[in-house]
Amino acid sequence: MHLAQILFTQGFGTRRLCAGIVAAGRVRIGGHVVDDPQADIATEDLVFEVEGRPWPYRERALLMLHKPAGYECSQKPRHHPSVLSLLPQPLRNRGVQPVGRLDEDTTGLLLLTDDGALIHRLTSPKWHVPKVYEIGTKHPVTDEQIARLLAGVVLDDDPAPVRAAACERTGEQALTLTLTEGKYHQVKRMVAAAGNRVETLHRSRFGALQLPPELPPGGWRWVQARDIEAVNAGAPAARD
Ligand code: URA
């Protein structure tokens, strides 16, 4: 693929802008400046540098963000900045979107991608992708509350009970909850329905992907192709 076209597909701006970036000598491959926008470059395992910053070539972008509190997942945030503002411009230009949403005050693992089909599959209720939440509660967690969360609680928008796939107390006022659906404010509403209240909420896992302990709040990293498979592996076959 022509180098200018590579930059274009990776979100570096219009075709003209990308040709200009290359012609200005701002792109290196293997440590060498390549200033011919038409240079034919193999994209497999390609890492190119733009002004010293390395970028892996990705046909589709998939990344994980350690979402800090105080950011909204919506595209048109109303009260707080968007999580997208934590990403470099090329990723935003590519149109990456959060896979599902976390509340403004929720922290932890958020996946983002420009692959609409992947978003659809990972958020579809047909696929029971497990998500693990670490919860700090207002009141001490009781055995009865755990039992209710596991047995199923009724939320106000649906008569069918929703239940946690797994739930365990991790401290006097702390529990870990695994959900395979993603209803609006589901964790907070379930915990309230069980007779407690969520004070802090952190997602530590999505499918088979775990938030790496070394990724600081606000930090992001690419998810590797093999990790995409791990996400898929986290989801049992679609059930209808
Ligand atoms: N459930 C909630 O209540 N909030 C989140 O952010 C995620 C799950």
Distance 122 CA to ligand 1 centre (A): 16
Distance CA 24, CA 233 (A): 44
Predicted confidence band at 128 (pLDDT cuts at 50, 70, 90)?
A: confident
Topology of domain 130-206 in CATH is Alpha-Beta Plaits (3.30.70)
Band (182; pLDDT cuts 50, 70, 90): confident
- Domain coordinates of the chain in residue numbers? 3-56, 62-125+207-233, 130-206
The pLDDT value given to residue 238: 43
Residue 39: its pLDDT value, please? Answer: 97
| 65, 181, 184, 201, best to mutate for ligand 1 pocket (most atoms within 8 Å of CB) | 201
**Do 178 and 132 touch, CB atoms closer than 8 A?**
yes
pTM for the full model? 0.91
Q: Which residue has the higher pLDDT, 137 or 124?
A: 137
* Same fold: 3-56 with 130-206: no
Catalytic residue among 35, 36, 103, 227: 103
Phi and psi, residue 226, nearest 5°: -70, -25
pLDDT greater than 70 at residue 239: no
pLDDT class for 166, splitting at 50, 70, 90?
Answer: very high
Residue 57 has pLDDT above 60, yes or no: yes
Residues with CB under 6 A from ligand 1: 102-103, 106, 185-188, 201
Residue 98 has pLDDT above 60, yes or no: yes
Cα separation, 158 vs 27, whole angstroms: 54
Domain covering 62-125+207-233, topology:
Alpha-Beta Plaits (3.30.70)
d(CA 23, CA 205): 43
Q: Is 103 marked active-site?
A: yes
More confident residue, 212 or 127: 212
Q: Is the pLDDT of residue 240 over 60?
A: no
What would the CATH number be for the domain defined by 3-56? 3.10.290.10
